[in-house]
Structure 1
Amino acid sequence: MAKRFVLATQTLPESIEVGFITELRKKKFGWWHRLPGVWLVIDRTDTLTAQDLRDLLKKLSPSTLCLSMEIPKGNANWSGLKIDDDMFSWLKSDWNENQPAVPAQPSKEGEDLPVA
C-alpha cells in the first residue's frame, strides 16, 4: 500500500522547487506538480506523515506557507479541467490506491510529467 498526500504552498521560487523535487526523488516518492502551488505525493513505503512532508519543505524554505494533508485509503474521487492530454495521465495511472506510483520528472517546459 502507499500513502497519498496533497501539499498546497504559496508560489515557490524555482530554486526551492528544484530542491524539493530533489528531496522527493531521493526518497523515491511519486509526485505530480502540474498546478502552481499544488503537489500530489505518493509514498510507497507507507511511512511518511503529513508533518514529515511539511518538514521536508520547511527544511528548504522555513518561511513558506503550506498545508499538508494525507488522503484517506481508497480510490480518490477527483475531477479537473485540463490544458492537454497529458495533464492528468499520472493521476489516472498512479493516484488510485491500486496503482503503482511512478516518480515524475520535469519536462522541458518545467512541468512535471511521468517517467516513461
Structure 2
Amino acid sequence: MALYLLVFGVCLLVIGAVLLILMTVGTPRYRTEPHDLLALFDKALESKVSETEWNAIIGYPIRHDEYLDSVRRRAAHLMDSYGRHWQIARSKPLLNQEGYTELKALRDHLAAHTALRQR
C-alpha cells in the first residue's frame, strides 16, 4: 500500500508540474518585420532562396502592419505572375527577368519606406 501511495504521489506531482508549466508558458508569436522581408528579397534577387522559405514568409499574412502586408501580397502576386517553380531545384532564379526587375523595385521601395519610418 505504501508503494502504491508513493507511485501515486510521484505521478500526481509530475502531472501537476507539467500542467503548471503548460499554463504559464505563453503562445509563441512570430511577427514579420521589414528586415525579414528585405532579407528574403535580397536572397531571392541573389537566387539563394528556396521555394519553401519563400512560401513560409510570403504565405503568412501580416496582421500588425497593413503596409507590410501589401508588400507581401505584391510579392506573392509577382511569384504567381513571373515565378518559375520548376527552375528553383536547378539553382536557377526564382523569377524571370521581368519579375526580377519588379522585385528589385519592390525591395528598393520597401527599403526607402523603412528608412523614412525609422527617422
TM-score by length of 1: 0.32
Larger helix proportion, structure 1 or 2? 2
Larger strand proportion, structure 1 or 2? 1
TM-score by length of 2: 0.32
> Bigger relative contact order, structure 1 or 2, given CA contacts below 8 A and separation 6+?
1
